[in-house]
Each structure stands twice: as structure tokens, then as C-alpha cells.
């Protein structure tokens, strides 16, 4: 569960969080100045929970994930705390982080083609992690990799193991990324736009696959997407981010049917629905996000908000909107 800015942390029902992010900031040094990409994220994920992070392009979703994994670009710096089972990942050295990455926490990226090594066969890439992280023999690792390829519903698994990435379609490559991500039975899978590069029917199939695997292994998933439509059937909870800040956190149904933040409502209303007539125009949110090199004071959404009023020149703290929901907005309730 996410935490309000000013109160004691909330804990998921009776369960201890698996991952607890506290006041996470990511800054990049650039010739133009310091880019404030992530600005004080606070959230936690319980074992087996699927939490989606939703926001427009450039809102800091990927950099949040990369900061958790210790994979920021050279010019990036993360501060705050990323607590995994009692230890702050931001304070770990490379060796400690490597043993957690790929083993306890795995990440799958938007573009499988860029994440797979073009010079190694699928089998070699899949088994390497098992031999290294799980100390399996090569034949044990081959058997596990083959089994995992079956699980992600790839046919001819033995043949696939001998193939190179370029011999496979985008959908097959993404299945392989998921299989690789789940090989070590991680407790947390971070999936960054896992289906964006794929066509719609393959997308639905891959999403279903992730949910089946989640049920089977009880893996928690941090699902990153700019498409609120995708999370409807997948996530338990949703965090809406804007300019690297959390705007709202809520169980998925509440966010869809009773959003409390003007930005969340704009996102919800821009999702195409099956019952929508073709002549109903989607409401995109007019305007652009703030310049991350020069963040404005007050509410970051102010320039685009149709309800902005005098209080909005002060920065809104995250507060409870309902028992299990949080919002960063000065409005007591969202006008119709």
C-alpha cells in the first residue's frame, strides 16, 4: 500500500510489504541542468500483489523501476530508501545487488529485442542465470529452461533453445523474456510496458500469461504502463504518477469508477470502452507536463487542471481519500 506523505506507513492488511519504497528521488545531471525525473515516490508492494504504475510518457515510470534494480544510467543518482526484505537496495554493492537481481527481483523490458543478447542462443541465455544464481548443473538448467518455455506456451521448446533471438517473432521474444524473468521464481517481477511493442492479440495473450504465472507462483508484479486500459483486468492496485510524483493510489476498481484526482479522471476518461459509440470523442488531457529541469512550485498539475484554485499554489500533500486510497490534491471531492 502507498503511504501518505505525512502519516505513519500503512501496511497491507496484515501482511508485511515485500518491497517498500520510501521518498525515492532520481536526478540526472545533464549539460542543461539537473533533471528531476522521480520526486519523492512512496509505495509498497505486498507478496503476490499486482500493482500498476500508470502515467504519461516521461512521468518517471521506467526510472523508478531502474532505480529499484540499481540500473540507472551513468548520469543518474537515486536517493531515499528501497527496502527489500529489510535491506536498502540503494546501499548495496554491485555483488549483493547482482545476487538479488534475476533471483529475487526480475525485470522485463518494453523491447525484448534490445534486452536479449543477439549473439547467444536462447538456451544459453536462459540457462546462464540458473547456473550462476541457482548453482544448477547445465543439464538441470536445460530441463528447467525447457519447462519454462512450455509454461509460457512456446511450442517446440527444445528447438527454440537452439535458436538466436533474430529467428523469433516479437511475441515469441517477449514470451522468452517472461520465461527468463520467472526462471528463478522471483518474488517480484517488474514488467515495464511488457506488451507495448506487440500487436493487440499477442498483448492479450501475454497479459493472460503473466496473470496465470502470478497465480501459479504467487509472484508480486509491478506493472508499468501508460495505458490504463491494460491494467483493468490485471492489477489489484494502481498508482498514478505525474512528473515523477504520485497523484493517486487506489484499488483498481475505485480508480476506474471513482477516481479522486483530476489527472486520474482524465486518464480514465481517455480509455476507449467497448460500450463507447464511435462518435464519442476520447477526452485526452490538454496541455503538457512541467519541465523536469525547472519544476514549478505548488501542484505540478496546476497548468492543466480545470479545477485549479488559489490553494493550488501550495504543494498538496498525499492524504487519504478513502480507507485504502490516497490522493495528492487540495480538492475535498472532485466536482462532476
Ligand X SMILES: Nc1ncnc2c1ncn2[C@@H]1O[C@H](COP(=O)(O)OP(=O)(O)OP(=O)(O)O)[C@@H](O)[C@H]1O
Binding residue for ligand SF4 (CB under 6 A) from 249, 316, 321, 326?
A: 316
In whole angstroms, how close is the CB of 24 to ligand X at the nearest point?
12
Site string for ligand SF4, 233-272 (x = CB under 6 A): -----------------------------x----------
Q: Which does 331 bind (CB under 5 to 8 A by kind): ligand X, Mg ion, ligand SF4, none?
A: ligand SF4
Which one of 92, 302, 319, 324 is in contact with ligand SF4 (CB under 6 A)? 302
The residues binding ligand X (CB under 6 A) are: 28, 30, 35, 37, 55, 57-63, 73, 75-76, 226, 292
The least distance separating ligand SF4 from the CB of residue 307, rounded to whole angstroms, comes to 4
* Residue 195 within binding range of Mg ion, rule CB under 5 A: no
| In the complex, least distance from residue 58 CB atom to ligand SF4, rounded to whole angstroms | 18
Other CB atoms within 10 Å distance of the CB of residue 144: 18
* 62 in contact with Mg ion (CB under 5 A): yes
Catalog residues that contact ligand SF4 under the rule CB under 6 A. 262, 299, 301-302, 305, 307-308, 312, 316, 329-331
Amino acid at each position: 500500500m502507498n503511504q501518505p506523505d505525512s502519516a505513519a506507513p500503512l501496511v497491507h492488511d496484515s501482511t508485511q510489504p515485500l518491497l517498500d519504497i520510501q521518498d525515492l528521488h532520481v536526478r540526472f545531471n545533464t549539460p542543461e541542468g539537473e533533471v528531476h525525473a522521480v520526486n519523492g515516490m512512496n509505495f509498497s508492494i505486498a507478496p503476490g500483489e499486482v500493482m500498476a504504475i500508470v502515467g504519461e510518457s516521461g512521468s518517471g515510470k521506467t526510472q523508478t523501476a531502474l532505480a529499484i534494480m540499481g540500473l540507472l544510467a551513468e548520469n543518474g543518482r537515486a536517493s531515499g530508501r528501497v527496502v527489500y526484505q529489510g535491506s536498502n537496495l540503494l546501499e548495496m554493492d554491485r555483488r549483493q545487488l547482482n545476487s538479488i537481481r534475476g533471483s529475487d527481483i526480475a525485470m522485463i523490458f518494453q523491447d525484448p529485442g534490445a534486452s536479449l543478447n543477439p549473439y547467444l542462443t536462447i538456451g544459453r541465455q536462459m540457462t546462464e542465470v540458473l547456473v550462476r544464481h541457482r548453482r544448477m548443473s547445465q543439464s538441470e538448467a536445460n530441463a528447467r529452461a525447457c519447462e519454462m518455455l512450455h509454461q509460457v506456451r512456446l511450442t517446440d521448446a527444445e528447438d527454440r533453445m537452439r535458436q538466436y533471438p533474430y529467428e523469433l517473432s516479437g511475441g515469441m521474444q517477449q514470451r522468452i523474456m517472461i520465461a527468463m524473468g520467472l526462471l528463478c521464481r522471483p518474488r517480484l517481477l517488474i514488467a515495464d510496458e511488457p506488451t507495448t511493442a506487440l500487436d493487440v492479440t499477442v498483448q492479450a495473450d501475454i497479459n493472460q500469461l503473466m496473470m496465470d504465472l502470478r497465480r501459479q507462483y504467487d509472484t508480486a508484479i509491478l506493472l508499468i504502463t501508460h495505458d490504463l486500459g491494460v491494467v483493468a483486468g490485471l492489477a489489484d492496485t494502481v498508482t498514478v504518477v505525474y512528473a515523477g510524483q504520485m497523484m493517486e493510489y487506489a484499488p483498481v476498481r475505485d480508480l476506474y469508477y471513482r477516481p479522486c484526482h483530476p489527472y486520474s479522471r482524465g486518464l480514465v476518461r481517455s480509455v476507449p470502452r467497448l460500450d463507447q459509440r464511435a462518435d464519442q470523442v476520447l477526452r485526452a488531457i490538454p496541455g503538457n507536463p512541467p519541465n523536469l529541469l525547472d519544476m514549478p512550485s505548488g501542484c505540478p498539475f496546476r497548468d492543466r487542471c480545470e479545477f485549479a484554485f488559489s490553494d493550488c499554489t501550495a504543494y498538496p500533500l498525499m492524504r487519504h481519500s478513502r480507507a485504502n486510497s490516497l490522493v495528492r490534491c487540495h480538492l475535498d471531492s472532485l466536482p462532476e
